[in-house]
């Protein structure tokens, strides 16, 4: 716990005590085994969800976690880790042109530690001193998990808000809502969503002259709600009222993302499951593997996987009761066709090889590209800025979790993760599979440590300039 105190600029003791109390309460809450059945009669057993630590919004079963309390604790956890003041860039905006990009680094450093001094330390030293600023980010309700949608969306889309947990990161660190949509078959049109949130009500009008009938069918299916573990019509849900469910584009809004997250379905135990930030579908046509871990090789296959895993947290035993939909081959193909034409946003400063066009670039961007080529291009090569592989960054070299996690996780080696593309990267904060890096400056500080690059302040600043033009 010692290091945590240094992270807090004011009233350190009080906040540290609250934090300890919070950890203890959560630990107690989660000490129960995941599949323990409630000690009651057989009808409850019959209708009990497989995971009885899940909330039941109705009178039967376990009481719901107190949402305000959950969110208060999460806010405290985030405030300890980050400066959430929401600083943004004065002129650079995301591709839809409405939202400024956030500026960092946001991660807080312990007193007496600077980014320069940290950059000179070995992973071992950082681990021993417990000062790594980029440990995994936890789901605000790690014990339960499930899909969580940001307020900017729940305000305008019914049925996505949960009663047990809310969204935790401030809006400044999320993509523009709604994001722009660019398609490969009509680059001349620019943003084909015309600044609107694409819905079942407006998609036909919007895309009459843009999509083929088969792509149109794919778009319709991507917009159609289907029931999910916590968004459904049964009593075992986390929404106040029964709801139809969640659509693919509720998360991949307009083919991009607005930072919706859930927990990875395929890693157990619960304490070690990763928070997963929704990836953009921009440029999936240029990628050969899908999912940070699953490395599925076709979009059609991913459609089916997403239905099982994102929707039912990998627990398909209850899917039938909750009304899961299983896409036919033809439906999967239509959805695949549609996803395959979602383009990256335009990058006017890149040439046809995806490299910086020297006639358009600033001096800082040119220097930034050189820094990038030295440290980053081996895994993120132009033109798409991904090698289409997965790499193990072995981030666990830098930390040791004991005492700092909501469920007492002992530190999780994350293993290989997909090299996400960096095209259009300024449009998709927060970064990394779990969104623990809130700004591009944070990604540069993170990789400076992970790669032990020992970059100068000037090199880091230039690298950020370069990432903004991709
Ligand atoms: C709860 C929000 C959510 C919903 C709903 C959702 N996704 Fe996803 N999607 C994600 C997340 C999170 C990832 C990243 C998964 C990972 O890293 O393994 C992802 C990844 C993907 C990818 C791989 C992208 C890449 O870069 O590797 C595809 C393709 C995809 N989703 C398609 C779909 C389709 C099709 C549907 C509807 C059947 C859907 N998604 C519904 C959150 C969602
Ligand atoms: C050894 C291969 C490797 C090198 C070298 C590398 N990266 Fe990455 N990069 C990855 C992997 C793998 C991920 C996904 C990691 C994760 O999500 O946990 C990633 C993710 C990222 C992301 C977040 C993408 C997103 O959509 O959230 C950014 C930004 C990034 N890298 C920038 C850089 C920069 C800048 C450098 C050079 C300083 C660099 N990378 C060097 C492999 C690499």
Q: What pLDDT band is residue 308 in, cutting at 50, 70 and 90?
A: confident
Tokens 């946001």 sit on residue = 106
Ligand with the closest atom to the CA of 455: 2
Q: What is the pLDDT of residue 20?
A: 43
**101 phi, psi to nearest 5 deg:** -80, 145
For the CA of 420, the closest atom of ligand 1 is: 26
Residue 129, pLDDT > 90, answer yes
> For ligand 1, is residue 282 a contact (CB within 6 Å)?
no
Ligand with the closest atom to the CA of 447: 2
Query: What is residue 407's three-state secondary structure?
Result: coil
Bridge partners (DSSP) of residue 93 are 100
Q: Which of 136, 371, 379, 440 to mutate to test the pocket of ligand 2 (most atoms within 8 A of CB)?
A: 379
Q: Alpha-carbon distance 178 to 277, whole Å?
A: 17
Residue 64, pLDDT > 70, answer yes
Distance 394 CA to ligand 2 centre (A): 12
Helix (H) or strand (E) holding 391: strand 390-391
Crossing angle for the helix pair 329-339 and 299-312, nearest 10 degrees? 100
Distance 430 CA to ligand 2 centre (A): 13
DSSP-assigned states of every residue in 185-215: T-GGG--TTTTSPP-TTTHHHHHTTTS-HHH
Q: What pLDDT band is residue 19 in, cutting at 50, 70 and 90?
A: very low
Q: What is the pLDDT of residue 41?
A: 33
Helical segments of 208-345, H only: 213-223, 248-251, 299-312, 329-339
Q: What is the pLDDT of residue 60?
A: 45
> For ligand 1, is residue 284 a contact (CB within 6 Å)?
yes
The pTM is what?
Answer: 0.88
Instruction: Characterise 454 by phi-psi region: left (phi > 0), alpha (psi -120 to 50), beta (else).
Output: left
Higher pLDDT, 28 or 369: 369
Q: Alpha-carbon distance 306 to 83, whole Å?
A: 34
Cβ neighbours of residue 315 closer than 8 Å, sequence gap 6 or more: 50, 51, 229, 265
Distance 441 CA to ligand 2 centre (A): 13
Q: What is the pLDDT of residue 323?
A: 87
């Amino acid at each position: 716990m010692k290091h945590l105190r240094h992270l807090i600029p004011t009233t350190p003791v009080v906040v540290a005590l609250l934090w300890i109390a919070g950890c203890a309460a959560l630990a107690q809450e989660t000490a129960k085994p995941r599949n323990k059945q409630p000690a009651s009669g057989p009808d409850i057993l019959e209708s009990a969800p497989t995971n009885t630590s899940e909330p039941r919004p109705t009178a039967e079963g376990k009481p719901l976690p107190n949402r305000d309390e959950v969110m208060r604790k999460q806010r405290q956890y985030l405030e300890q880790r980050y400066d959430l003041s929401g600083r943004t860039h004065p002129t650079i905006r995301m591709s839809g042109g409405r939202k400024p990009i956030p500026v960092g680094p946001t991660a807080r450093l312990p007193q007496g530690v600077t980014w320069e001094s940290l950059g000179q330390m070995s992973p071992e030293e950082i681990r021993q001193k417990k000062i790594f600023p980029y440990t995994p980010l936890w789901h605000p309700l790690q014990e339960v998990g499930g899909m969580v949608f940001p307020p900017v969306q729940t305000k305008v889309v019914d049925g996505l808000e949960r009663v047990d947990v809310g969204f935790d990161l401030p809006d400044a660190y999320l993509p523009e809502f709604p994001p722009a949509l660019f398609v490969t078959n009509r680059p001349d049109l620019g943003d084909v969503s015309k600044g609107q949130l694409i819905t079942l009500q407006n998609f036909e009008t919007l895309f009459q002259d843009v999509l083929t009938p088969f792509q149109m069918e794919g778009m319709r299916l991507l917009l159609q709600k289907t029931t999910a573990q916590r968004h459904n019509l049964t009593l075992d849900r986390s929404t106040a009222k029964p709801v139809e469910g969640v659509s693919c584009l509720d998360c991949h809004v307009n083919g991009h993302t607005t930072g919706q997250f859930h927990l990875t379905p395929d890693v157990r135990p619960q304490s070690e499951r990763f928070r997963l930030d929704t990836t953009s579908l921009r440029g999936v046509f240029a990628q050969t593997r899908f999912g940070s871990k699953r490395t599925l090789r076709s979009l059609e296959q991913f459609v089916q996987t997403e239905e099982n895993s994102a929707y039912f947290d990998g627990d398909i035993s209850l899917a039938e009761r909750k009304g899961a939909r299983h896409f036919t081959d033809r439906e999967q193909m239509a959805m695949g066709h549609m996803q395959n034409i979602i383009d990256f946003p335009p990058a006017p400063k890149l040439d046809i090889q995806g490299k910086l066009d020297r006639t358009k670039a600033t001096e800082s961007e040119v220097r930034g590209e050189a820094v990038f080529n030295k440290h980053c291009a081996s895994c993120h090569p132009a033109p798409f800025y991904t090698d289409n592989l997965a790499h193990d960054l072995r981030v666990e070299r830098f930390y040791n979790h004991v005492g700092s996690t909501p469920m007492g996780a002992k530190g999780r080696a994350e293993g290989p993760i997909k090299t996400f593309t960096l095209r259009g990267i300024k449009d998709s904060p927060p970064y990394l599979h779990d969104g623990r890096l809130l700004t591009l400056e944070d990604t540069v500080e993170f990789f400076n440590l992970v790669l032990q690059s020992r970059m100068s302040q000037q090199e880091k600043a230039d690298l950020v300039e370069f990432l903004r033009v991709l």
